[in-house]
Amino acid sequence: MGNRDLNNNRTTYKNRAPPQPPSNYYTTSSPYYTESSSSDTQWTSWLVPMIVVANVAMFVVVMIVNDCPKHQNLRSEGKCVGGFLGRLSFQPLKENPLFGPSSSTLEKLGALEWKKVVNDKEAWRLVSCIWLHAGVIHLLANMLSLVFIGIRLEQQFGFARVGVIYMLSGIGGSILSTLFIKNNISVGASGALFGLLGAMLSELLTNWTIYANKAAALITLVIIILINLAVGILPHVDNFAHIGGFLAGFLLGFVLLVRPQFSWQERHHLPIEARGKSKYTIFQYVFWILSMILLVAGFAVGLVMLFNGENGNDHCSWCHYLSCVPTSRWHCNNQ
């Protein structure tokens, strides 16, 4: 789903829905796992469905607050779409082509905006923006991606670890977005969704010994991630939220999604003195330590820069190209 501005070119959607990985990536019958992995505990997924319900409920609340019919006489963009829905009807398509609320409503209810976060110290917007969506199309695309990606991860690793990755990745995406985008407000769960993709990649790397078809799993994930990041250079797509969420999720995967190595799993039913293998490899320990250091440092530096009013573009003259590359067909004005 391409992202567009809503009102006076001020709203940036923090998400284009990532394509889903192959349907057998995180199932016990997956060819990517060795035979021993089929005995892993399978968790019942309830957190991801609850997140979906919460996002849908939040969108309904936003539309009730928006109340397009009440304000349509004050606007010149046209009539509300879906008038039979009453106060749930959508803004005119010229204002919001995704069938959703106005930018002013999103801003009032917690959209990410540099001035509000930095000048007014409204840090809660770093979290609230993750639960807002610019329209029905935006919401459906994100929630479908979350279901396909998140449920598999939750079944394999449980709700606690997936929940931590989802929220911290979303916040990481919000921090990087606010550091680099000054002129637009931003909404969407893209940071959290890209965090789940990043965690899937680091989980594959740190648990390399338990995969049977390593190359296929790695190539599949890398292609999915590169395609989505490439789409982020289009205008009105908040690729900084994508990148920030992906980096946070990638590091969190090394910390939270570690599995015992295959040779240990083969012997885990034997007495300790007969196992002869360490539960984790030295590389898993090294990745865990480095990832924890980078996570803490990254969040600390990002938050300090943000609340000191720093502009990320002043420290990186080319970084704005990561979110939008100007061409003869469009311009970029996110800085």
103 close to 8: Cβ distance less than 8 angstroms: yes
DSSP for 59-93 reads: HHHHHHHH-HHHHGGG-SS-PPB-GGGGGGPBPPT
Residue 209 · residue 190 · CB < 8 Å:
no
Assigned token pair, 235: 């205008």
**Given the residues 102, 145, 190, 202, the one annotated as active site:** 190
Cβ pair 264, 275 in contact under 8 A: yes
CA atoms of 193 and 169, how far apart (whole Å): 8
Q: Out of 133, 138, 236, 242, which one is annotated catalytic?
A: 242
Residue with tokens 């539309």: 63
39 has catalytic annotation = no
C-beta separation of 263 from 213 below 8 A: no
Sign of the C-alpha dihedral computed for residues 100, 103, 231 and 145 taken in this order: negative
Rounded to an integer, what distance in angstroms lies between the CA atom of residue 140 and that of residue 22?
A: 20
- To the query of whether residue 315 is one of the catalytic residues in this protein, the response is no
Query: What are the residue numbers of the active site?
Result: 190, 242
